[in-house]
Structure 1
């Protein structure tokens, strides 16, 4: 596919923004892939950007390794404290999250596949059924032995008395119900995401570097099904040359603007969320 890359103002660029808006307005089934860049406006840092968590503190990446976590009680203690202090607990959905919730009201949103673990898509108004969390969620804790899932708030409340809270059912090691390095993704979740990509006629990748597989490969799945690929991301991605449109403008400005141009099924231009 020939791509159009835009770095100018979103509402003044006919070759980028307007083309993306046209593709979205004429699509019947839009699948969206979101990455950490979608939540940065909510105060949650990304990982690989200039101010990213791993860029600023390379040692932090070691805490995301499953073998290190399972084998070192001191690492687990530090991770639990980090989880309790995570920005997600105080964060609120931003304009990008609200725009995707508004897109759902047009009847054109198939699914939101997210690499984020903060739950902000649901807090913005999307249903759990509409959101596919490929890297899990901070909102739950899972026992690594028996698989028992518990609300995170219940486990975090124990930290004042227990630095490494164990499973109340079997005594096993617990961790946030998120995917760590070296840990397999849930095959059922990946199958749902693959199906959503295959069923789309427009695949919108927002705020993701598209370097982490197998999630990045969903772009290939969508394009093989003849979907248009639109990328909104601050930095270049490996898929830019294959996209119909690449937009570099701030996500919190571009996404509401694009969704504003998407009509509800059987109607004209949608004007239901001017406050975004």
Structure 2
């Protein structure tokens, strides 16, 4: 790896060691290295499917079977993938005290399976479902975890018999205000945020790093491409998440994970 990256890794490690409250914000790029397609980019899911047909309340109201069929496919894909080195590195950094919390835009559970304990999901979780009528939100029932196809009868709410839907934030829906406020509070009290694999264009998630910046904290951006966040970042590593964390963990002498 070029010498310039070695210097950058040194800087990142110094910033981690000096930080009192560092957090991480992750986006689709980190999970892409586990084989989960991103939504934007040349291999993105939205290049194959129209979001208004699959991931909106209107779509579910119009054709819940079609939406569930797509989510069954997506759940099978996501649940069959494993955490990669970057997920494991972030969990190790939490375990060793360098990182206090992970905020993720991803709906997969790869951070948790890698060992991260303090994770906030801005856009919901594929491992949960909720009632279309708003009754409950529960863990994905065991008979739906290993879907090869959706059953003829769509999953029903045990409380009101209304339809269950994936507990993720769809286009046109607002984020859970409690989740959003928790993320903003974490960002404001943090002195360092690592922004990993996010396009930094989806609001309000894209505002999280700037809250840390406005509070006097620093931003480390890890992304192969420039983003709208790049001009505000103190360090930008133009690397994939895995390559970046390999360098960081080696410099920290924590690379045996």
The TM-score normalised by the length of structure 2 is: 0.90
User: Is 1:90 matched up with 2:80?
Assistant: yes
Per-residue Cα deviation, 1:82-114 (whole angstroms, up to 9, x for no partner)? 3443x2111111100000011012212121000
Query: 1:70 & 1:145 partners in 2: Cα distance?
Result: 12
More displaced stretch, 149-158 vs 109-118: 149-158
* Residues 92-131 of structure 1 mapped to structure 2, 5 A cutoff: 92-127=82-117, 130-131=118-119
Per-residue Cα deviation, 1:33-78 (whole angstroms, up to 9, x for no partner)? 00011111211111112211113x1425531122222232343343
Aligned to 1:36: 28
Query: 2:132 & 2:143 partners in 1: Cα distance?
Result: 14
Aligned to 2:256: 275
1:207 Cα deviation after fit:
0.3
Aligned to 1:64: 55
Is contact 1:25–1:261 with CA below 8 Å preserved after alignment?
A: no
1:117 Cα deviation after fit:
0.8
* Residues 52-201 of structure 1 mapped to structure 2, 5 A cutoff: 52-55=44-47, 57-60=48-51, 62-85=53-76, 87-127=77-117, 130-154=118-142, 156=144, 161-201=151-191
Is contact 2:135–2:160 with CA below 8 Å preserved after alignment?
A: no
Aligned to 2:225: 235
SS in 1 for 2:81: coil
Query: 2:207 & 2:83 partners in 1: Cα distance?
Result: 27
Is contact 1:47–1:53 with CA below 8 Å preserved after alignment?
A: yes
Per-residue Cα deviation, 1:16-47 (whole angstroms, up to 9, x for no partner)? 33322322222121110000111112111111
Computed over aligned residues only, the root mean square deviation of the Cα atoms, in angstroms, reads 2.1
Query: Which ranges in structure 1 are unaligned for 5 or more consecutive residues?
Result: 1-8, 263-270
Query: 2:180 & 2:242 partners in 1: Cα distance?
Result: 27
Query: 1:62 & 1:10 partners in 2: Cα distance?
Result: 45
Is the helix fraction higher in 1 or 2?
Answer: 2
1:51 to 39, 43, 46: 43
Query: 1:54 & 1:61 partners in 2: Cα distance?
Result: 10
2:15 to 18, 23, 32: 23
1:201 Cα deviation after fit:
0.8
Larger RCO (CA under 8 A, 6+ residues apart):
1
SS in 1 for 2:33: helix
* Residues 254-269 of structure 1 mapped to structure 2, 5 A cutoff: 254-262=244-252
Relative to structure 1, the CA distance from residue 117 to residue 217 in structure 2 (aligned partners, 3 Å threshold; closer, same or farther) is same
Relative to structure 1, the CA distance from residue 80 to residue 244 in structure 2 (aligned partners, 3 Å threshold; closer, same or farther) is closer
Query: 1:242 & 1:96 partners in 2: Cα distance?
Result: 23
Relative to structure 1, the CA distance from residue 80 to residue 14 in structure 2 (aligned partners, 3 Å threshold; closer, same or farther) is closer
Relative to structure 1, the CA distance from residue 198 to residue 260 in structure 2 (aligned partners, 3 Å threshold; closer, same or farther) is farther
Query: 1:11 & 1:92 partners in 2: Cα distance?
Result: 31
User: Is 1:248 matched up with 2:243?
Assistant: no
